[in-house]
Amino acid sequence: MSSHIDILAKQLSADLQEFSKDPKNLVDGYSYEKEYSKIMKSYEAKLLSATVGRPSENRNFKKPVLTSYGPVSVNKTHPLSQTPQGFKISGLLQSHMCRIGSKLPFREASEELYAFLELPKPVTNK
C-alpha cells in the first residue's frame, strides 16, 4: 500500500512542478487556482483509495462509497464502508448534504453540492 502512495506522491510532485512552470497557468489568479484545484482533485480520490487498500475482487466483500473526494470502492470491513443509515455515502458527505439541504430546496442543494465539491453528477434515469 505505501509503495502505491509513494508512487502517487511522486506523480503529484511532478505534476505540480510542471504546472508551476507552465506560463498559461500564470495568466490570472482565478485560472491558476482552478487548474491547481483540478490537479489536486484528480489525486484526492486516488490517494484515498490507496489508503483504504485494494478492495476484494469478490463483490460480496466490497462496497462502493461516494465520499466528498469522489467514489471509492472499499472492503466491507473498512470503517469507511460503515455508512450512516445504510446509504452508500460517507458520513462526512452526508453531513455536507444535510447542511446544504437544510438551507436550499433539494434540487438546488444537490447542484450546489456537486459543483462546490467538484464531484461527478450521478446518472439519473428519467
pLDDT, tens digit, 9 for 90 and up, residues 42-101: 898 888 888 887 766 777 778 888 888 888 888 888 888 888 777 888 888 889 888 998
Residue 83 CA to residue 91 CA, distance in Å, equals 6
Same domain, 88 and 103: yes
Evaluate if residue 12 carries a pLDDT over 90.
Answer: yes
Q: What is the DSSP string of 49-85?
A: HHHH-PPPSSGGGEEEEEETTEEEEEETTSGGG--GG
Please check whether residue 118 is in contact with residue 41, taking contact to mean a CB–CB distance below 8 angstroms: yes
Same domain, 85 and 27: no
What's the structural domain count of the chain? Answer: 2
Domain boundary among 33, 51, 69: 51
Same domain, 99 and 71: yes
Same domain, 47 and 73: no
Q: Which residues contact 87 (CB under 8 A, 6 or more apart)?
A: 94
**Is the pTM above the cut of 0.75?**
no
Task: Output the pLDDT for position 18.
Answer: 93
Same domain, 83 and 116: yes
CA distances from 4 to 15, 44, 75, 76 (A): 16, 14, 18, 21
The domain containing residue 74 runs over which residues? 55-126
Terminal Cα-to-Cα distance of the chain (whole angstroms): 40
Same domain, 23 and 35: yes
Same domain, 20 and 65: no
Same domain, 21 and 82: no
